[in-house]
Amino acid sequence: MILDSLKLDGKVAIITGAGRGLGRAMAVKMAEMGADIVAAARTQAQLDETADAVKKTGRKCIVVPTDVTVSAQVNALADATVRQFGKIDILVNNAGGGDGGRPKQLPEITDDEWRRGIDTNLSSQFYGCRAVIPQMVKQNRGKIINIASGYGLRGGKQNFMYACAKGGVVQLTRSMALSYAQFNIQTNCIVPGFFPHNEAAMERFKGGKFIPLGRGGEDSELGPLAVFLASDASNHINGELVVIDGGGLAGGIAPTGVSPENTN
């Protein structure tokens, strides 16, 4: 029965960046579908809020404050999960972040900013994969979901670190998929488009008018996709990118919202 194959009952999912936004939305939706959650992020207070939301669904949630740019902490996250639940069924490598402030001209980007950005957005996902793989191989089963971005597939002006890191995530996904297919471990990648998290983002992006569907995504819309890729319903999908962007990447050779005129 296909709807049953989408359930996550009895599964254990680690989600990084679970303190807010898309990470929290995925944690709650996966819990609604039956998974116990290991929520990781830097900020304890935010994690506690996620844990409260997860526990309202009736699932268990442990929180593990983690700096994903420190591989020892990511290893400890995997260890804590195995200690608590005896297994790791699902890893969602969600933690990451853009350049923070205003985009910088190339000569202004310092070595330190570059390294910090790559650590946050790419090395973190590598550390996550490396930390869970021994356990998943032992189980002969596992699902890894990396989170990239449209900037991992297309370029943007003054967008260096983020585009390079997310492009790296795409390739990490493919190499993971091929390396561990034989161990029944599927690694896929969600490519989110524009998901505004505050008024400033909405303002900057004009409410999402540039998106074919005419709006930005809601955090809650990412949950079901994460569930699908974590579930048995996607067992033969591996090394694949699933774009959830309201049609943005399907276009891109003409501005959205206008169409070439009919010249006949």
Q: Which is nearer to other proteins, 128 or 217 (CB)?
A: 217
Of these, 105, 182, 198, 264, which contacts other proteins (CB under 8 A)?
A: 182
Cβ at position 73, least distance to other proteins in Å: 11
Of these, 7, 87, 104, 130, which contacts other proteins (CB under 8 A)?
A: 7
Kindly state whether residue 207 participates in binding other proteins, applying the rule CB under 8 A. no
Pairing outcome for strands 142-147 and 61-65: unpaired
Residue 162 known to be catalytic: yes
Kindly state whether residue 139 participates in binding other proteins, applying the rule CB under 8 A. no
Residue type for position 198: N
Stretch that binds other proteins, among 17-25, 91-99, 112-120, 212-220 (CB under 8 A): 212-220
Q: Which is nearer to other proteins, 109 or 242 (CB)?
A: 242
Task: Say if residues 50 and 244 touch (Cβ distance below 8 Å).
Answer: no
In the block, residue with structure tokens 């005129």:
261
- Cα–Cα dist 76/158, whole Å: 36
- Cα–Cα dist 83/78, whole Å: 9
Q: Hey, what are 213's tokens?
A: 């569907």
Task: State residue 227 phi and psi, 5-degree precision.
Answer: -60, -45
* Residue of 127, 151, 162, 180 marked active site: 162
Pairing outcome for strands 185-192 and 241-244: parallel
Of these, 55, 138, 197, 204, which contacts other proteins (CB under 8 A)?
A: 55
Q: Which is nearer to other proteins, 34 or 98 (CB)?
A: 34
Q: Which helix (H) or strand (E) holds 244?
A: strand 241-244
Q: Which helix (H) or strand (E) holds 128?
A: helix 124-139
Kindly state whether residue 106 participates in binding other proteins, applying the rule CB under 8 A. no
Pairing outcome for strands 36-41 and 12-16: parallel
Catalytic amino acids?
162
Q: Where does this chain bind other proteins (CB under 8 A)?
A: 1-10, 29, 32-34, 36, 44, 47-48, 51, 55, 57-65, 80, 84, 173-174, 177-178, 181-182, 193, 212-214, 217-218, 221, 223-225, 227-228, 231-240, 242-247, 249-251, 256, 259
